[in-house]
């Protein structure tokens, strides 16, 4: 079924919205409703605080962790214990995440129980994703991290930290891993429309992931409890400022080649032996001892050749309090009950497991959610006396609904969230997302606007899309399928030219232009984010910001933030966690901050007309695209979305 599947559940009725007071009686039906599975209820008397980019979110997490008194529950796709949360002048300047967790878990007063729940399938998927750098400890050679190799100090810390935790040397820190059982793949994708290559694409879909990111602190004490629904992974490359400074030294220094590889170690030993001989000769001749020259020269050569600064990262997370924590606890506790505690033997077994479809289907070492627990898990039991109302904040009036994609239960409430936000859009929709690759959404957008027009609604719908260059060419065709429908075909040169050729041969329709789309009631743009040196001298003095955010805002009235991308995986195949809210003050403030970050202009007043803002975005995108071609400074952070390469075999 397409995104129109649940339309009939939203028949508008006159209703009283208790969350906003008596001055508003007719409320749009923002809360997600589905017919095939249960969803979490909307919760009221919550407090929501969006946090933009790693510097802001990781500082808040750091401070909240220090204030913890009972428990810390961390659920994430990627975890890096060596990352520094609050940074001074460099990426290594500050306390590491792993040390912070050990500190709160081992202190004399109010030691905290830390539960860390990570997605991990087997060695094959880990070697590809590298999402938990150092997880296998010292048992295997360095695999590296998702964005590149860490320096020897960071890499060594991670491996030793995981060894220590898995060996239960810090009893108050417990690590569990989980996978998505392969048997859920077929049902999850049964109603989805997608392109996939027989080899590359199908191999990737063997590994659905647990992509959720959340933190829950002191749930046992409702008055203190706080949580995070996150786009951010807990890895060092997600630390960045909202300014995305070009080559910011506070972002991690990564390496294209492993600094600790055997050849490097052999050369280091030879250098040390030679330096030792030099020092001995200096002593025998009465000369003052000189510092090691060969080692310093070797390191400088390696850094110059292989080191690079982590790319800028754009992301958004939410700090939340109130009754929605009740549902976040359900999500975490059920995942914890279905997971497997990590042990040395388990990690070794997973490492030795060969890759492949047959092996994954048969693998029983890591049970994850393939086998349901027979009785109530102790964690669930210990918290079942707490009710959602225990967390209500009387003086806070935000409402929120927790949403999931969860293939084990064929749960697709995040997909329905995007469908409902789209059908309720009456002026603009802003989407900032890592992947804009869900063709069904683009089709549904045009269908919804057609219904508005046929009902006599004549105002244009403004569509602001911010995304990055797809990280692999296998994602290009899915991205183009969206761009094609929103009048942005020309942004992807190779696909656009191929479509024109096919259209001239009568094999396809001509791509719809922005002008033609505007006649149908939609004014859409696609942009990317960039940073540049203050005084650029060449094209090397610019770098694209990697947009990892998963944000949608509609009409300054409602928004969603979380882990879900706008693609088939996040809508159906991977587990995801988002939060939806109709807190208008938060929606407006988030829009204002993101617009200001991107363009140095916050846009119109709340519920104001987007016409002039849309025009300014188009002008600024074009100006910055020209500036990068001419070696001029950028104004703001947006430029034209543009891809010029041969698309690869499609993947999901």
Q: How does pLDDT run across 625-647, given as a tens digit for each residue?
A: 999 999 999 999 999 999 999 99
More confident residue, 297 or 447: 447
- H helices then E strands: how many in the chain? 20, 22
pLDDT at position 348, please? 61
Angle at which helix 439-454 crosses helix 476-485, to 10 degrees, equals 10
Angstrom CA distances, 117 to 140, 295, 335, 338, 368, stand at 22, 40, 8, 11, 11
Residue 105 has pLDDT above 50, yes or no: yes
The residues, ordered by sequence, that sit 6+ positions from 436 with a Cβ below 8 Å of its Cβ are 465, 467, 479, 482, 483, 526, 566, 567
Residue 104 has pLDDT above 90, yes or no: yes
pLDDT band at 23 (very low <50, low <70, confident <90, very high): very low
421 vs 557: CA distance, rounded Å: 10
Cβ atoms of residues 489 and 511 within 8 Å:
yes
Cβ atoms of residues 487 and 524 within 8 Å:
yes
pLDDT at position 130, please? 87
More confident residue, 578 or 368: 578
User: What is the mean predicted confidence (pLDDT) over 515-531?
Assistant: 98
The residues, ordered by sequence, that sit 6+ positions from 177 with a Cβ below 8 Å of its Cβ are 117, 118, 119, 120, 339, 340, 342, 346, 366, 368
pLDDT at position 547, please? 98
What letter would DSSP give residue 548? -
Angstrom CA distances, 95 to 81, 104, 112, 117, 552, stand at 10, 13, 18, 22, 33
CA atoms within 13 A on the CB side of 334: 13
What percent of the chain has a predicted confidence (pLDDT) above 70? Answer: 87
pLDDT at position 290, please? 64
634 vs 160: CA distance, rounded Å: 43
pLDDT single digits (tens) 128-156: 788 999 998 876 667 777 888 999 899 99
Residue 294 has a CB neighbour count (10 Å cut-off) of: 16
Residue 457 has pLDDT above 90, yes or no: yes
Residue 71 has pLDDT above 80, yes or no: yes
Q: Of the candidates 232, 306, 246, which has an alpha carbon nearest to the alpha carbon of residue 83?
A: 232
User: What is the mean predicted confidence (pLDDT) over 526-531?
Assistant: 98
Lowest mean per-residue pLDDT among 115-124, 142-151, 318-327, 444-453:
142-151
Cα of first residue to Cα of last residue in the chain, in angstroms, is: 18
Name the CATH superfamily, with its identifier, for domain 54-239+324-391. Endonuclease Chain A (3.30.870.10)
More confident residue, 199 or 600: 600
Tokens of 425: 């859009």
pLDDT at position 93, please? 97
pLDDT at position 353, please? 57
Tokens of 638: 């947006």
Q: Of the candidates 476, 384, 388, 374, which has an alpha carbon nearest to the alpha carbon of residue 435?
A: 476
pLDDT at position 293, please? 67
Distance of CA 131 to the CA centre of its chain: 12
pLDDT band at 227 (very low <50, low <70, confident <90, very high): very high
pLDDT at position 577, please? 98
Tokens of 366: 């890591």
Tokens of 309: 């600064």
Phi, psi of 434 (to 5 degrees): -60, -45
Counting Cβ atoms within 10 Å, is residue 425 exposed (0-12), middle (13-18) or buried (19+)?
Answer: buried
pLDDT at position 265, please? 54
26 vs 298: CA distance, rounded Å: 70
pLDDT band at 288 (very low <50, low <70, confident <90, very high): confident
Lowest mean per-residue pLDDT among 33-37, 272-276, 554-558, 561-565:
272-276
pLDDT at position 330, please? 98
More confident residue, 206 or 387: 387
Counting Cβ atoms within 10 Å, is residue 292 exposed (0-12), middle (13-18) or buried (19+)?
Answer: middle
What letter would DSSP give residue 9? G
pLDDT single digits (tens) 552-567: 999 999 999 999 999 9
Beta bridge partners of 320: 48, 227
Cβ atoms of residues 25 and 12 within 8 Å:
no
User: What is the mean predicted confidence (pLDDT) over 18-44?
Assistant: 79
430 vs 524: CA distance, rounded Å: 10
Q: What is the DSSP string of 93-117?
A: SS-BHHHHHHHHHH-SSS--EEEEE
Any idea what the Cα angle at residue 353 is, between residues 348 and 359, rounded to 5°? 150
Q: Of the candidates 495, 503, 505, 527, which has an alpha carbon nearest to the alpha carbon of residue 650?
A: 495
Residue 22 has pLDDT above 50, yes or no: no
Pairing status of strand 42-52 against strand 398-406: antiparallel
pLDDT at position 552, please? 98
Residue 552 has a CB neighbour count (10 Å cut-off) of: 24
Residue with tokens 């030691």: 111
254 vs 595: CA distance, rounded Å: 30
Tokens of 514: 């922005």
What percent of the chain has a predicted confidence (pLDDT) above 90? Answer: 76
More confident residue, 141 or 332: 332
Pairing status of strand 550-554 against strand 546-547: unpaired
Q: Of the candidates 103, 82, 183, which has an alpha carbon nearest to the alpha carbon of residue 573?
A: 183
Tokens of 5: 């599947």
pLDDT at position 263, please? 46
Model pTM?
Answer: 0.92
Tokens of 198: 């027989």
pLDDT single digits (tens) 606-615: 999 999 999 9
Angstrom CA distances, 82 to 107, 132, 287, 414, stand at 20, 11, 41, 32
3-state per-residue secondary structure call for 197-234: CCCHHHHHHCCCCECCCEEEECCCCCCCCEEEECCCCE
User: What is the mean predicted confidence (pLDDT) over 392-405?
Assistant: 97
User: What is the mean predicted confidence (pLDDT) over 53-57?
Assistant: 98
The residues, ordered by sequence, that sit 6+ positions from 381 with a Cβ below 8 Å of its Cβ are none
pLDDT single digits (tens) 347-381: 665 555 555 444 454 444 444 444 454 588 999 99
pLDDT at position 259, please? 84
- Where are the domains positioned within the chain? 54-239+324-391, 254-309, 398-640
Tokens of 371: 């086998």
pLDDT at position 424, please? 97
Residue 505 has pLDDT above 80, yes or no: yes
CATH 3.30.870.10 fits 398-640, yes or no: yes
Looking at 368-492, list the stretches that DSSP marks H as alpha helix, in order from N- to C-terminal side: 378-383, 413-423, 439-454, 476-485
The residues, ordered by sequence, that sit 6+ positions from 62 with a Cβ below 8 Å of its Cβ are 85, 86, 95, 100
519 vs 363: CA distance, rounded Å: 55
Cβ atoms of residues 99 and 114 within 8 Å:
no
Same fold, 54-239+324-391 and 398-640: yes
């Amino acid at each position: 079924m397409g995104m129109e599947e649940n339309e009939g559940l939203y028949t508008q009725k006159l209703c009283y919205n208790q969350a906003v007071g008596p001055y508003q009686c007719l409320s749009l039906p923002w809360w997600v409703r589905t017919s095939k599975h249960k969803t979490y209820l909307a919760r009221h008397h919550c407090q929501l605080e969006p946090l933009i980019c790693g510097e802001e979110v990781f500082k808040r997490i750091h401070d909240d962790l220090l204030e913890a008194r009972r428990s810390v529950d961390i659920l994430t796709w990627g975890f890096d214990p060596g990352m520094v949360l609050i940074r001074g002048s460099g990426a290594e300047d500050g306390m590491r995440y792993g040390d912070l967790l050990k500190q709160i878990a081992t202190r004399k007063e109010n030691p905290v129980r830390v539960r860390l729940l990570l997605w991990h399938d087997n060695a094959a998927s880990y070697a590809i994703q590298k999402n938990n750098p150092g997880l296998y400890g010292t048992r295997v050679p360095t695999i590296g991290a998702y964005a590149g190799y860490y320096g020897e100090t960071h890499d060594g810390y991670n491996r030793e930290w995981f060894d220590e935790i898995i060996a239960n040397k810090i009893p108050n820190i417990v690590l569990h891993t989980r996978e998505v059982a392969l048997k859920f793949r077929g049902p999850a994708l049964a109603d989805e429309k997608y392109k996939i290559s027989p080899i590359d694409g199908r191999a990737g879909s063997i590994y659905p992931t647990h992509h959720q990111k959340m933190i829950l602190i002191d749930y046992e004490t409702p008055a203190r409890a706080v949580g995070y629904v996150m786009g951010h992974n807990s890895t060092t490359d997600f630390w960045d400022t909202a300014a995305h400074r070009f080559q910011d030294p506070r972002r991690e220094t990564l390496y294209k080649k492993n600094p600790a590889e055997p050849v490097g170690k052999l050369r280091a030993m030879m250098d040390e032996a030679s330096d030792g001989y030099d020092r001995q000769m200096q002593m025998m001749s009465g000369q003052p001892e000189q510092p090691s020259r060969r080692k310093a020269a070797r390191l400088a050569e390696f850094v110059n050749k292989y080191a690079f600064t982590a790319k800028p990262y754009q992301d958004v997370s939410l700090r939340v309090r109130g009754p929605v924590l009740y549902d976040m606890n359900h999500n975490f506790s059920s995942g914890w009950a279905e997971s497997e505690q990590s042990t040395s033997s388990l990690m070794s077994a997973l490492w030795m497991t060969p890759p492949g479809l047959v092996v994954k289907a048969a693998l029983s070492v890591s049970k994850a959610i393939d086998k349901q627990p027979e009785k109530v898990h102790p964690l669930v039991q210990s918290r079942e006396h707490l009710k959602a109302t225990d967390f209500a904040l009387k003086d806070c009036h935000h409402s929120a609904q927790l949403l999931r994609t969860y293939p084990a239960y064929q749960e697709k409430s995040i997909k329905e969230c995007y469908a409902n936000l789209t059908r309720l859009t009456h002026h603009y929709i802003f989407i900032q997302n890592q992947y804009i690759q869900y063709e069904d959404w683009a089709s549904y957008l045009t269908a919804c606007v057609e219904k508005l027009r046929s009902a006599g609604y004549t105002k244009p719908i403004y569509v602001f899309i911010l995304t990055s260059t797809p990280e692999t060419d296998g994602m290009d065709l899915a991205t183009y399928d969206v761009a094609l429908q929103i009048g942005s075909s020309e942004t992807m040169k190779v696909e656009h030219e191929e479509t024109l050729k096919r259209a001239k041969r009568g094999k396809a329709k001509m791509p719809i232009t922005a002008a033609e789309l505007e006649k149908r009631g939609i004014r859409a743009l696609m942009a990317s984010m960039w940073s540049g040196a203050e005084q650029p001298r060449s094209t090397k003095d610019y770098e694209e910001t990697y947009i990892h955010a998963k944000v949608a805002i509609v009409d300054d009235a409602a928004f969603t933030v979380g882990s879900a991308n706008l693609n088939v995986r996040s809508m159906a195949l991977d587990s995801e966690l988002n939060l939806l809210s109709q807190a208008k003050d938060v929606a407006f403030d988030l829009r204002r901050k993101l617009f200001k970050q991107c363009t140095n202009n916050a846009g119109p007043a709340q519920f104001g007309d987007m016409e002039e803002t849309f025009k300014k975005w188009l002008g600024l995108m074009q100006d910055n695209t020209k500036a990068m071609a001419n070696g001029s400074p950028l104004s703001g952070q947006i430029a034209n979305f543009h891809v010029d390469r041969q698309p690869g075999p499609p993947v999901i």
